[in-house]
Amino acid sequence: MAPRALWKGQLRLSLVSIPVEIFSATKSGARVSFRQIHKPSGKRIRYEKSVPGIGPVKTDDIVKGYEVEDDEYILLDPDEIDAIKLETKKTFELVQFVDACEISPLYFDKPYYITASDDLAQDAYRVVRDALRDAGKVGLGQVTMRGKEYLAAVKPCGDGLLMETLHYEDELREADQIFTDIEDDKVDKELLEVATSLIDRKSAPFDAGAYHDKYAEAMQDLLEAKIKNKKTPRVRTDDDDSTSGDNVVDLMSALKQSLKDADGKKKKKPAKKAS
């Protein structure tokens, strides 16, 4: 299945606007995922949005609240939030260019691919890509995705453009707060030479394919062995995924009812005859 674009709009460089789409450059489908199962009943655990004393609530009745004092919130409707007009919702303008080495690795967050939306946009798209490559620069700008405005860097990547979201400065911790106990003493010269020699000996071009998630592979082996083993405990859920949240049985209520039924059976149990 083709990936879905996370953002559609204009990539702007001065007076040039290029219709583009942004896609996530990472995927999580390769990892092992689990569902939580209620062991006594064999049914899937569900999570509902509920209010104490009221129970499950409809999504339409939920608004965002901002805490101004202890347990006091101002309420915002989704329409009020959507009404905030930011040009970066539809336009990603490259406003500055820097050398890639100027940006500390600490700032980089997540990679995305930028592609031209149609054939007519490809000429301008290639011009921006090649200009960045020839200049050896990274373009900086801001773009709004999923309700958040990101600082982002754009650079050439093969035949296309790669966008990497960046952390804002106030999102990073000061390193001095973490390394405060490390004394700034000179290291032993002989030990330094040995360590440097070891680094030189193990130096090689980066090859991401040489590394694998050993934990995920071991987990997959475990799962395959469990599937083949006929003694492995199994359950068959009969949950209907199309059931709306309003019809989902409250697990706590079900357990309490089960407890009442069990107590009732104990009381009705006939007394044992005396020998």
Query: Tens of pLDDT along 217-238?
Result: 888 888 888 888 888 888 777 6
Q: Tell me, rounded to whole angstroms, the distance of Cα 175 from its chain centroid.
A: 25
Confidence (pLDDT) at 42 = 85
Q: Is the dihedral of CA 252, 255, 259, 265 positive or negative?
A: positive
Confidence (pLDDT) at 240 = 56
CB atoms inside a 10 Å sphere around CB 101? 8
Q: Taking a C-beta distance cutoff of 8 angstroms, is the pair 11, 18 a contact?
A: yes
Confidence (pLDDT) at 266 = 57
Q: Is the dihedral of CA 214, 215, 216, 221 positive or negative?
A: positive
Q: Taking a C-beta distance cutoff of 8 angstroms, is the pair 114, 20 a contact?
A: yes
- Would residue 136 be called left, alpha or beta, if left means φ above 0 and alpha means ψ between -120 and 50 degrees? left
Q: How far apart are CA 89 and CA 108, in angstroms?
A: 21
Confidence (pLDDT) at 268 = 58
Alpha helices in the chain (DSSP H): 78-82, 122-135, 175-178, 189-201, 214-228, 251-268
For tokens 């199962």, name the residue.
Answer: 37
Maximum distance among all Cα pairs of the chain, rounded to whole angstroms: 101
Confidence (pLDDT) at 275 = 40
Give the chain's residues under pLDDT 50: 242-249, 251, 274-275
Structure tokens at 236: 């068959």
Confidence (pLDDT) at 40 = 86
